[in-house]
Structure 1
């Protein structure tokens, strides 16, 4: 039985969701009712996807808290990033719900926004809180050494405490605050490139994530400093026995920096070999729109899909719809009868209005996800009468893939150029800005190389619990590239801003490289561990697309935070020396004056 929803295309999935339960309830011991079709497929997918995303997000929270407690050494301090993230989540989710009343918002926009708000919110709060604790401890030590102030009474001490807290907040926002702001702008710029894809669903997803980033950024730069000022030393409550709350300098990462400084070529070549080896499989990467395999085997749409294929042929679930002038129906029937890719064509069905149009439904010979269907569609578009317009769910997927293939190079180019320009503005150093951008590109390529091995070739599919489709979903390269690059540049800004801060103070390349690792390495390590934990939880549950997202983003962060930022980029700072921070005179006049060294 064929039925069409009496609503526009934006509402068809909602109608399918409302109807599938009552339709399935009609099943008896002798009659099985399995509603299927494009709208039902998306309904079942959204349901499975939402369930998996929510499960993954709730699973990641305790893991995240455990990592933060270890990173901060105190339960109160560890809870601040989660509270900040919660504020960003509530604000972005509420805004998306309101926007959904005006324009349709993809359910993926909600899910991606929540995931990104969690990951970035923790990153930003971690960076700011660690810096405040160090600045506050430094202020206390300076005050304790000032013996002249010890005899002025309680009121003066209170005034001194307030002054110290203000000074610590000012220093934090003048260093870490600037880095967070520039990092957030870099993330927004990278994601904005997805808007170049002329697809409402893609723009909806990118817009949802950008909105969550804006709210998290606003909370980090306004709410978090206020909370830190009010809590002051109380953020160190419930501290672990080995915690050293005021220590911003990490001896272990300083020692790691010295090791890299002494043998840069060995470590640099090793990291390059690993990244290039992981990136090599990207040369054989294939993409296509998601197949029926993205749904669980017991989903109604998949059961019905298989039954339709068994009864009416492999191509029946991807029936083509051809609309044309009534006068061209005979010529179209001749073309359809001769085409080897068409199994059968129905009789023309006249439109219910006075348009004079007819619609012919044609069943292809191959499954909707088979590459051969694209060849059939191309032939039909070339051979059918000029008034004929070819459509249907399978053709929509093919057209969207073609659009994504055309848009991907543009999006990649725009992201790279804008990312480099933002780094140039932030660091005022052309060479290290270029190297940082290229390093981010290399880690992104490595993540996609591994994705090809897992999702296209099926390595590890049994462990992750999915059936490989033989390709990567077509939307993954453009969308994941923007997301990965945004996260990679996030860490780049943190590390290089710290390096620039040390170089501004000392003018010494050695101090810039080792000092950056000593002061930001631990934060990058902890933030990377949190992001990997968050993303990999998505790889362990749900349909294939969330698994792709979890594996690709998790691997990208793993490689970028621990291999690129903590090995390759410091090595590049070592090898380039003072040239890394050289700014031509003409460029210095053009760029705004941004400094990170606080007095």
Structure 2
């Protein structure tokens, strides 16, 4: 098969390259629109309470819209008692509500309330006020528009002593999107030259390094083009761009490294271009293909988790790995055939001497480890288990405003709201209560009132914002009776505006905004959410239903769906890895060994992540803020990605060991020789991946920092403790049972004879 494929690539090399270049050009043009099409959403779980609550609030309420934003204004020159204060605030709010980009449907805040009701919108410093503004913009449009509006407002009023911030999910994710683009650009500026330098060091040849580099870049560009087209009609998370770039560059350059190195080796042994290409496709090409299949199938298991942000990242990784496999097994071989011996052009000195001595060192190391396999395997396992211990205290949650730097106007707005109005004011729980009949005309009103009062008395509740204070002032005994037309028409205009903000126009739905006394992600607030949901459940019945939404509810629901499906995801990944390794190596026990060692490596990675990002150990070196938890999609993405990438090295190493074993070498010799011949490449490939992932760990926003750091650490552990120590020790202990398969002799047949050698003069003249 490899010979037929090599012949097809040779015959159709020019059409193949032309098709790839045409696809690259089209994808490059399409990719230009990708950042504007990505969404900051994707955190709502279909069918969850938090999603139902969010949908219920999109229409039917005054000053609420398809998306909403809170305008935070601080006057550094005046306080609320000064005559100029209201005028200055009114000017800012008027600019926001009159901005055609925002399509404002209404507003409610400091300027609308009178008397004691104004206190809810005034900060403790008497300089900061809030105004809630409803927008007729969907979340995706709001995310694209709000950052530019924020920049305009901040720049226009800073000189006048006014600080203005737009606080909302749309503004936050719009800022995250901008920061993601900046981080991606910084990571690329750091990574791409570094990759090229590492490739030059590995190949000691300019041509091979450039070819490998171009393969990685083109696969990523093609991926962005496809994702941009998909994002036109399907919501894709903003995290997909960073994740696809990070994984794509690492995997693409790794795959090309395996293919180019093997092709150059075959040429150096005297094979002609056809034979070298066929052998390369049979060995490294097969490794790349199986590796890509493993990555794609493992990442596909993430679609079991019904959360769009995870679907988006999984899709991005699948697409970029697919293009990496295509580029490395079809396009790259065509380029290599055209180059022939020129693939080693631009050689740097010292390659041959360094490689020979390096292989001898790796061989000596492998033999030393296999002389005392129990001691080395035990030491490796103990070290990994020790690193994994902190993972027992792993906590996860959805990203909040702390993922953006303190210098951001959006972050300033969130921090100011918490500082001036209470810790939970920026992220209240929203209890949406619906009655089958209008509230003024039904006994269900008693259930709604009782629910409000029970929630207000719960420990950890700072206050409950609703229409009930105003309604009770108008009708103390039967507050909802004040909604009847006769009574409602007598209320002052500002009171009516406040009531309509919390009670729907059809008078069937009321919203209570529960302000906790802690961050949305804290354990205390999560416990409060459970209590609020329990009270909402008690109120149900008699034509009344209640759902609880808000940032905390959204995060808890997302965490729940991840945790519920994580066992299924892991089971499928383990089955995929086992079956594919079983088919690849015709061995029952080698896949088990690979899975156990991968689990140890992943556990150690989780443990270090907890130390760095949850407990803050060395977090400042990364410029990361300690938030007390990991982003909830990071652990599940890590396990899928790391199982895939670790299996890459496993396949590459064991394929070479199997070659030696089938050629007649004993177990110890085949392991030592296989390790000696692959360790330089595995180490180089790992160095490339670490460079890529570490760049994102230092330049990305917090979730990408955690993902990049975790991947870099895991690859470092895999390429050192696992691949260099644990694997040879375990294979030495397993002995001839490494290759055991029921119904087959333990020793495989000898390898086929070596293909004929062709003189250099004939190879260079062959077309």
Taking only aligned residues, the RMSD between alpha carbons, in angstroms, comes to 2.4
Higher-Rg member (1/2): 2
CA contact (8 A) 1:20 1:35 kept: yes
1:362 aligns with 2:530: no
Alignment of 1:35-114 (within 5 A): 35-114=166-245
More helix by share: 1
| Length-normalised TM-score, structure 2 | 0.71
The Cα of 1:402 is off from its aligned counterpart by: 2.1
1:311 aligns with 2:442: no
Q: 2: CA distance between counterparts of 1:273 and 1:429?
A: 27
Q: 1: CA distance between counterparts of 2:142 and 2:420?
A: 25
Task: Give the aligned partner of residue 618 of structure 2.
Answer: 460
Q: 2: CA distance between counterparts of 1:279 and 1:596?
A: 44
Gaps of 5+ in 1: 141-163
Alignment of 1:156-555 (within 5 A): 164-244=272-352, 250-325=359-434, 326=439, 327-328=444-445, 329-348=448-467, 349=501, 354=506, 356-384=508-536, 385-386=539-540, 387-506=545-664, 508-555=666-713
The Cα of 1:243 is off from its aligned counterpart by: 2.0
Q: Which moved more, 1:331-340 or 1:197-206?
A: 331-340
Q: 2: CA distance between counterparts of 1:259 and 1:420?
A: 29
The Cα of 1:246 is off from its aligned counterpart by: 13
Q: 1: CA distance between counterparts of 2:730 and 2:550?
A: 52
Q: 1: CA distance between counterparts of 2:193 and 2:390?
A: 35
Q: 2: CA distance between counterparts of 1:350 and 1:300?
A: 28
CA contact (8 A) 1:345 1:362 kept: yes
Structure 1, residues 433-492: CA drift from partner, whole Å, max 9, x if none?
110111111111111111111111111122222221122222221111111221111111
The Cα of 1:53 is off from its aligned counterpart by: 2.6
SS of 1:240's partner is coil
CA contact (8 A) 1:350 1:356 kept: no
The Cα of 1:62 is off from its aligned counterpart by: 1.7
The Cα of 1:195 is off from its aligned counterpart by: 1.2
Structure 1, residues 479-527: CA drift from partner, whole Å, max 9, x if none?
1111122111111111112212222222621232022112211110100
- Size of the aligned set, in residue pairs, is 571
SS of 2:334's partner is helix
Q: 1: CA distance between counterparts of 2:338 and 2:227?
A: 31
Q: Which moved more, 1:413-422 or 1:451-460?
A: 413-422
CA contact (8 A) 2:582 2:591 kept: yes
Structure 1, residues 70-112: CA drift from partner, whole Å, max 9, x if none?
1111111112211111120111111111111121222211211
SS of 2:741's partner is coil
CA contact (8 A) 1:84 1:219 kept: yes
Q: Which moved more, 1:17-26 or 1:448-457?
A: 17-26
Q: 2: CA distance between counterparts of 1:509 and 1:464?
A: 44
Task: Give the aligned partner of residue 30 of structure 1.
Answer: 161
CA contact (8 A) 1:175 1:598 kept: no
SS of 1:50's partner is helix
Q: 1: CA distance between counterparts of 2:176 and 2:352?
A: 48
CA contact (8 A) 1:451 1:552 kept: yes
Q: 1: CA distance between counterparts of 2:621 and 2:576?
A: 38
Q: Which moved more, 1:178-187 or 1:13-22?
A: 13-22
CA contact (8 A) 1:536 1:551 kept: yes
The Cα of 1:138 is off from its aligned counterpart by: 1.4
Task: Give the aligned partner of residue 136 of structure 2.
Answer: 6
C-alpha spacing 1:462/1:245, structure 2 compared with 1 (3 Å): same
Task: Give the aligned partner of residue 138 of structure 1.
Answer: 269
CA contact (8 A) 1:501 1:597 kept: no
CA contact (8 A) 1:291 1:469 kept: no
Gaps of 5+ in 2: 1-130, 468-500, 756-767
